[in-house]
Amino acid sequence: MNLIPNFKPENIVQSIENITKKGFEVVSSAEKGGNWDEVITATDNFECELGRLTSVNSHLNAVMFSDEFNTQYEQTLPIITNFYSDISSNKALYTAYKNLKNTDLNEQQQHILQESIDGFELSGVGLEGEDSKRFKAIKEQLSLLSNQFSKNSLKATNEWIKIVELEELKGYSETELAKIKTDKGYELNLQMPVYMDVMTYLDNRELREEVYRAYASRASEVGITSVDFDNKAIMDEILALRQEMADILGFKNYAQLSIESKMVESVDQILEFLTNLVQKSKSQAQAEFDELSQFAGIVLQPWDLGFYSEQLKAKKFGFKKSDLTPYFPEQKVLEGLFSTIESLYKVKVQQIDESSYHNDVRVLEITSNNQLIGKIYLDLYARKDKRGGAWMADYQPLIGNEKPIAFVVCNLNSPSKGKPALFEFDEIVTIFHEFGHALHHVLTKVKYPCAAGISGVPWDGVELPSQYMEFFCYERSVIDKMSEHVETQKSLPDELYNKLIASKNFQSAMGMLRQCEFSLWDLQTHLGKCDTYEVLTQVRQQTALMSAIDENRFLNTFGHVFSGGYAAGYFSYKWAEVLAADAYYYVQEHGGIGSDASLDFLHHILETGGSQDFMDSYKAFRGKKPEINALLQANGIVI
């Protein structure tokens, strides 16, 4: 049993060609199969083998980007896409799956089989002739466009740097200065940790504006770079191809196609859900914005929001974000995270000495009763050759005697000159979030890889475990475990803790509107009505509290929708947030961390994965469907 991924792939084009050739042989045999093992187990096992290879390739392309490797990687994308297109349109294999409905299957197998059959149908298995050829060509082109979108976003982000003098950085503490100190002086860039510091702490309004304009216009025709990384034509082509896919399959638009594989019942249901959230949040959000404007005493611009919000928060609650940061050094935060996971789910998390693809990466083992459950590769720090954002990716599911492996990736600041990395509280929330995903993958008990962990879970259910984990960051017992002042070694004092909790929902209604704006824009864009920026303008008439600058092109780097899996599904964050809030309050009411209720979440949600209807899993845990009021309560929105 080898649990060490091969992080030095060579000849990846040839490797992909060889393994997909093997895959066609496996499928050819499965077409003739008459029982579960001959059809589904055989294809499942092969998909795990292929998945390990493609997962490592895509992972390295995201976290250690180089033009040389990317050139090879791009050559593999059509091979992989065409392979999956051929499989998903294979009528003989589809028939073999349907024939299994007449065999003796358990409930998990019946659910998995029906989901697989539905997947075939949404992947064009019923198409003939030119429609089938065109559908396959579209999927190939989308894989290439998605990669190009990510590549442009990364390069446009890396292109902009600015050397500044110390006197220009008034408002920065030693913590923020340490992130940007170089041999040349102080270097600002558009990496997320640096950008957020500028927006939050920098007194120099002109410099804030300059950095904001550079960030907001990345990968666009007005981007402040020396090279053309404009993503707009790519976005337009992606949207047109998605619409064409929907047309070929008989859907009115891509939004309808996307919803078919989600928990929700219809596009209208989600539009109603989001509109309801906007209506319930709008007046409180306006009051929050008016309070901020009055406090700032100026006509607010986008580059002012973070800065004056931090100032107002400090005045209202008697502390600022940087007061918390010294209490959260990296190692202590991770110790607290691991301890919380151990208490919640009765497992052991420990770092082991194992080499990986980069010196920054920690390798973690998850065990129970001294038995290995799985591994997590944790890559925390921002790097120039690393895609922005935070995510979890699966490398290997539970299959036979082989244990699950996941990658957890963030873009946080790193240690500097002998000093540990210090994390802002928002960053800690992000770490907990991504570990929620990883635990969903690693703690599975499902023996069928296609439904183990996050596999087979509808997209609007995938975010439940991650958002559920976020709630525990704020518990006193958890903060005691993960806080230790970098100089005094004292835990976060009660005074600061109480201020943190009091400020938890500061401007939460403004945040709610912002997320609803993204979700409504995404859904309306995939209804195919007009240009995506026109859609944004229309949506902002409902959600926006201030005007955007003319050169704002943030959609041009919106990877979740254009190079991730959230197309016509960004609403999943809000939908799952309802589930997460409802789940958390239920667990709190029934004993909290370590209680039978928290173990019920493990058994019915994490361990069950995609092996049954996800809402049925939730009802088995909770006893009933979730309600929207839990989300409003969690955000402090009064209705």
Residues annotated as catalytic (active site), given as ranges = 434
As a whole number of angstroms, the distance between CA 226 and CA 573 comes to 35
How far from 481 is each of 140, 193, 378, 449, CA to CA, in Å? Answer: 48, 24, 20, 35
Sheet bearing 185-189, strands edge to edge? 161-164, 185-189, 181-182
Report yes or no: 463 and 574 within 8 Å, Cβ to Cβ: no
String of DSSP letters for 560-587: HHHTSS-TTTTTHHHHHHHHHHHHHHHH
As a whole number of angstroms, the distance between CA 302 and CA 548 comes to 7
Closest C-alpha among 402, 401, 212 to residue 307: 212
As a whole number of angstroms, the distance between CA 411 and CA 196 comes to 12
As a whole number of angstroms, the distance between CA 247 and CA 256 comes to 10
Closest C-alpha among 215, 266, 134, 264 to residue 626: 264
Tell the residue number behind the tokens 């349109």, with chain if given: 89
Amino acid at 67: D
